[in-house]
Amino acid sequence: MNLVGKIFVVLIMLMSFVFMGFAVAVYATHQNWERIVNLPRKDATSGQPVGLRIQRDEARAERERLAGEKAAVEERAKTELAARQARLAQLETEAKELRTEHDALVNEHAKLVQQAREAVAAMESTQQTLAAMRKEIDVLRTDIRTAQTERDEQFKNFVKLTDDYNQSQNELKRLQAQTMTLSEQITRYEGVARRLNINLNVPPENVKPTLDGLVLAANKDGLVEISLGSDDGLERGHTLEVFRGSRYLGRIEVFQTHPDKSVAKVLPNFRKGPIEKDDHVATRFN
């Protein structure tokens, strides 16, 4: 073998090593794309991801689940919005009723004020009449005295008129004393009425007796059931005060009545503590 042949042999050997290196590099960098795409979760080892198709299917399922939750949340939001709108309409109706009741009370107050003014005017007229009568009595006295000096024969008539006058004076004094007594009694009655929180301007047929009862049940939503009902004179819209011993717990408003019990709601602005079973309630009709 000459020199050229030896050179070719060496070149062939070197190229063999080069191609062998290329083959080793290709084998080392080769990836099983089918395994990467379709590798199930149960065959995945630590550090090796699940197949891309499995990941895609799981992502689609998660997206569908989130879409379902979104639809459910939107439906609940619509339901809550409808409930709030209904509650708002109910509150507007109650506000309209309260305004109507307020206007009626204002009119009633105006009528009472007018009646009081008329009563004062009648009293002043009575006082003027009494003064006129007193003047007439003075004139009668003068006439009697003049008639006595002029005509002795009219003495008996004078005596009779004097007796009538004295009786009138005695009757007037008795009526004045009775008026003072009645005034003192009225003053005492008004004081007692104020202490008992009784409105004397309310007609007697509209006065309701004070009722005491117990809380039969209470829940966390602010609703309570009490032992007083329509048979006791309780009506929708009446308010009651709640106590536990000497402790004031708050005010409740009746919105549903039965013959022997009622259901009421706790007014948040007056709540001073938790209301429980066997707490005492008292009516407020003012």
Using CA atoms, how far residue 234 sits from 11, 200, 217, 239, in Å, is: 117, 21, 18, 9
Residues 6+ apart with CB under 8 A from 254: 234, 235, 236, 237, 238, 239, 240, 262, 263, 264
- Whether the per-residue pLDDT at 236 is higher than 80: the answer is yes
**Which residue is associated with the tokens 């503590």?**
273
Q: What is the pLDDT of residue 62?
A: 87
Average of per-residue pLDDT across 270-280: 92
- What distance in Å separates the CA atoms of residue 195 and residue 187, rounded to the nearest whole number? 12
Least confident piece of the model among 102-116, 183-197, 237-251, 267-281: 183-197
Least confident piece of the model among 77-91, 177-191, 200-214, 263-277: 200-214
Collapse the DSSP code of 68 into the 3-class scheme (helix H, G, I; strand E, B; otherwise coil) and give the result.
Answer: helix
**Which residue is associated with the tokens 């106590």?**
243
Q: What is the pLDDT of residues 23-71, one digit of tens each?
A: 777 666 655 656 666 667 666 665 667 677 777 887 888 899 999 999 9
Average of per-residue pLDDT across 179-195: 71
Q: What is the mean pLDDT of the chain?
A: 83
Whole-structure pTM value:
0.32
Q: What is the pLDDT of residue 167?
A: 85
- Whether the per-residue pLDDT at 163 is higher than 60: the answer is yes
- Whether the per-residue pLDDT at 194 is higher than 70: the answer is no
pLDDT-above-70 percentage for the chain: 82
Using CA atoms, how far residue 254 sits from 55, 276, 284, 285, in Å, is: 60, 17, 11, 12
Q: How far apart are the first and last CA of the chain?
A: 134
